[in-house]
Structure 1
Amino acid sequence: MSRFERYLTLWVALCIVAGIALGHMLPGVFHVIGLAEIAKVNLPIAALIWLMIIPMLLKIDFAALRKVGTYWRGIGITLFVNWVVKPFSMAALGWLFIGYLFKPYLPSDQISAYIAGLIILAAAPCTAMVFVWSQLTRGEPHFTLSQVALNDAVMVIAFAPIVGLLLGLSAIIVPWGTLTLSVALYIVIPVVAAQVVRRRILMSGGEAALTRLVNVIQPVSLVALLTTLVLLFGFQGEQILKQPAVIALLAVPIIIQVYFNSGLAYILNRLASEQHCIAGPSALIGASNFFELAVAAAISLFGFNSGATLATVVGVLIEVPVMLSVVWIVNRSQGWYERGSMPLSGSNKKAALAE
């Protein structure tokens, strides 16, 4: 890990402060950037996400995807946490904290909307940012790509019914344009671009040339992450300054949900004797959220200025700092994890996979 990566938490904190300050001082600039969108998908953010995930995608050999069935335990655990546990645990946390414990401190006419926003947020598993978290935990890239693709496929079928069930609505308006465009921008385009570049580099210079390229552009990924953070906090700088107490209270169930679901996925992978390079991204995929889809769905259902939309925006604000803390926990606990993931762990399982 480079010196820059070792101090990533500091850079994140500085970017959060810078984003809020710039959003307050230059709201017009951020408003213009925020309007550069199609179907509620912000194009500058999409471009930054490309810069974040393409270095990891360059490492992926699609011919090796045929081996992803080896990781069926991790795939099953992640699907279980994402679609069976996560939306329902968030609904329970929302009703407990927002509907009961924090109710006296929140606008009474927005309580139901806040809970709805939290449910919508939890029902949309993360897509693009997972590649960044997986890379930071030295996760298996083929597993990450396959899991994300599978989640996208399930999301098309399960998002509306789950949200409808938990909100008690007979019909949910799914922003299909946002969902389709997000998958294309965050998955299809960068995957195709990365594979084209990978093939050309391998043909001209071999593995050594590819390794040099990845090492050169790797810092770009982290710079793009920090720039994204400045933009996200800049977009919501006014909201943060106007309603800091409401935002802090809404953040509580979201943070608890992230640690609960990531911890559950991590421990289940350990009990299933899955490798750490699978358990890391599995835990992170099981905890993070597809905030673009969540915000768009909240706006379409409840309106731009609703409590539901604000709740999904809070998810955007805390996504990067909280997920970085989960990355830190996963990396620091690798020794503990591998001591308990028996009988196939570490070199033994790698040898078994090689065979």
Structure 2
Amino acid sequence: MKGVTRMAHVMNPASPVLVSSEKRLNIFERYLTVWVGLCILTGVLVGKAFPSLVNMFRSWELGKGSHINLPIAVLIWLMIIPMMMKVDLTALRNVGRRPQGLFVTLVVNWLVKPFSMAFFAWLFFRFVFGGWMTPTEADQYIAGCIILAAAPCTAMVFVWSYLTDGDAAYTLVQVTVNDLIMLLLFAPIIGFLVSGTSSLTVPFSILMYSVVAFIVIPLATGTLVRTWLIARYGKHWFEQDFLPRFGPVTIVALLLTLVCIFAFQADNILAKPWHVALIAIPILCQVYMNASLTYGLMRWLRVPYAVAAPGALIGASNFFELAVATAIALFGPESGAALATVVGVLVEVPVMLSVCQVCNRTRHWFPEELVERGTA
């Protein structure tokens, strides 16, 4: 894989000799942006070629007026629950290890990231791009960007951590703590920022329903399944045999979700295709700002590289599956907010690969004795 594959030195458990291990993304992860682009094309073609079929699917909701599209909800559960099965709550016993790294991650994720995204979205969509879109469109795009930033990354951050020689055990601690905090702060932050930066009113009852449907239920289900299967078959079987089986299911569910969203968005996309590029600009600004801030603070506090790199990656990436689900629940699958969260999926991989490259090339910024990965 050009520009990403690197030779990493790992310690052979049976020998102190260093051996080489080539780190690669799988074909889906490597070309996620390409698949998303194909889904855009497929969804738009389906939306224009079969409008009556698309309208029928759009009308299927989990309760009248809920905005929760039933087909998309099922697909999103198929994506989120396998990701939540990777969350190990027992990792919380290591929460006090290297507290500076965890502190920086939490501060950036919850006190900086959503607010900086709200600022950039408000600045660009209200003023910089204000002449190219209606106030209603601006409100929708602002809301979607805020929802995207309020959901810190979960499963994919393990991939990015792996590519930067991050401490896998500590990355798990960071992700687990973030998931638990999401239960408390996700809804209030979205409600406060969306209402404060746009003319939209977020129905708190629907927002809480989204939290229950797309965080509480998947997290509880994933935890119960994980606990039961590990107790019955062992952790090695669960992580090496069971979880990989969900890879194809998750991939297909994600791609079908994107096709559905873009089929619902077909008229909007064809009427203003340049809006996709406009939405990407504030997202890129806040992503690189937060990754740089996290990485810089980690260096200033002399946090080990193996903790600093995953921290920067968590600050840069998003739990886009949850963001898409929430935007659909609040504003509908054909809304500008849903489109904005999907643009986040479109830019995710190239942005994160660029952050990985920066981390790999700047590990010398950290003192030599702090470069090696610590013990879990």
Deviates more, 1:178-187 or 1:313-322: 178-187
Q: What do the CA deviations read for 1:225-280 (whole angstroms, capped 9, x no partner)?
A: 33332222222122211232445434433343333334433443444425133432
Residues 268 and 237 (structure 1 numbering): CA distance in 2 closer, same or farther, change over 3 Å? Answer: farther
- What code does the residue aligned with 1:131 have? T
> 1:155 and 2:186 equivalent?
yes
What does residue 190 of structure 1 align with? Answer: 222
Residues 211 and 105 (structure 1 numbering): CA distance in 2 closer, same or farther, change over 3 Å? Answer: closer
User: CA-atom RMSD, angstroms?
Assistant: 3.6
Q: Do the aligned residues in 2 keep the contact of 1:41 with 1:182 (CA within 8 Å)?
A: no
Residues 199 and 20 (structure 1 numbering): CA distance in 2 closer, same or farther, change over 3 Å? Answer: farther
Structure 1: where are the runs of 5+ without partners?
Answer: none
Q: Do the aligned residues in 1 keep the contact of 2:152 with 2:318 (CA within 8 Å)?
A: no
Q: Distance in 2 between matches of 1:168 and 1:231?
A: 27
Residues 231 and 71 (structure 1 numbering): CA distance in 2 closer, same or farther, change over 3 Å? Answer: farther
What does residue 259 of structure 2 align with? Answer: 230
Q: Distance in 1 between matches of 2:159 and 2:221?
A: 22
What does residue 31 of structure 1 align with? Answer: 55
What does residue 374 of structure 2 align with? Answer: 350
Q: Do the aligned residues in 2 keep the contact of 1:91 with 1:118 (CA within 8 Å)?
A: no
What does residue 133 of structure 1 align with? Answer: 156
Q: Distance in 1 between matches of 2:128 and 2:353?
A: 30
Deviates more, 1:127-136 or 1:234-243: 127-136
What does residue 324 of structure 1 align with? Answer: 349
Q: Distance in 1 between matches of 2:211 and 2:286?
A: 23
Q: Distance in 2 between matches of 1:180 and 1:56?
A: 16
Residues 128 and 259 (structure 1 numbering): CA distance in 2 closer, same or farther, change over 3 Å? Answer: closer
> 1:85 and 2:109 equivalent?
no
Shift of 1:65: 2.2
Question: Which residue of the other structure, out of 340, 352, 360, is the alignment partner of 1:315?
Answer: 340
What does residue 63 of structure 1 align with? Answer: 90
What does residue 130 of structure 2 align with? Answer: 103
- What code does the residue aligned with 1:249 have? L
Q: Do the aligned residues in 2 keep the contact of 1:11 with 1:226 (CA within 8 Å)?
A: yes
Q: Distance in 2 between matches of 1:220 and 1:287?
A: 17
Alignment map for 1:208-247 (pairs within 5 Å): 208=237, 210-247=239-276
Structure-1-length-normalised TM-score? 0.76
Shift of 1:25: 1.9
Q: Distance in 1 between matches of 2:276 and 2:32?
A: 24
What does residue 279 of structure 1 align with? Answer: 312
Residues 296 and 29 (structure 1 numbering): CA distance in 2 closer, same or farther, change over 3 Å? Answer: same
Shift of 1:11: 2.8
Q: What do the CA deviations read for 1:153-212 (whole angstroms, capped 9, x no partner)?
A: 12244433344444489x86423333333323443333333433343332xxx6246412
Q: Distance in 2 between matches of 1:242 and 1:184?
A: 37
- What code does the residue aligned with 2:35 have? W
What does residue 15 of structure 2 align with? Answer: none
Q: What do the CA deviations read for 1:119-147 (whole angstroms, capped 9, x no partner)?
A: 43344356888334223313623421321
Q: Do the aligned residues in 1 keep the contact of 2:144 with 2:339 (CA within 8 Å)?
A: no
Structure 2: where are the runs of 5+ without partners?
Answer: 1-23, 163-167
Residues 177 and 217 (structure 1 numbering): CA distance in 2 closer, same or farther, change over 3 Å? Answer: closer
Structure 2 SS opposite 1:130: coil
Residues 150 and 237 (structure 1 numbering): CA distance in 2 closer, same or farther, change over 3 Å? Answer: same
Shift of 1:320: 1.0
What does residue 174 of structure 2 align with? Answer: 143
Q: Distance in 2 between matches of 1:287 and 1:18?
A: 20
Question: Which residue of the other structure, out of 323, 326, 330, is the alignment partner of 1:293?
Answer: 326
Q: Do the aligned residues in 2 keep the contact of 1:71 with 1:278 (CA within 8 Å)?
A: no
Number of aligned positions between the proteins:
335
Structure 1 SS opposite 2:58: helix
Q: What do the CA deviations read for 1:11-40 (whole angstroms, capped 9, x no partner)?
A: 333223222222222233333333443333
Q: Distance in 1 between matches of 2:275 and 2:238?
A: 51
- What code does the residue aligned with 2:52 have? G
- Structure with more of its chain in helix, by fraction: 1
Shift of 1:224: 3.0
Deviates more, 1:129-138 or 1:18-27: 129-138
Q: Do the aligned residues in 2 keep the contact of 1:123 with 1:162 (CA within 8 Å)?
A: yes
Shift of 1:287: 9.3
What does residue 42 of structure 1 align with? Answer: 69
Structure 1 SS opposite 2:97: helix
Q: Distance in 2 between matches of 1:344 and 1:45?
A: 48
> 1:14 and 2:38 equivalent?
yes
Q: Distance in 1 between matches of 2:321 and 2:173?
A: 19
> 1:199 and 2:224 equivalent?
no
Deviates more, 1:263-272 or 1:147-156: 263-272
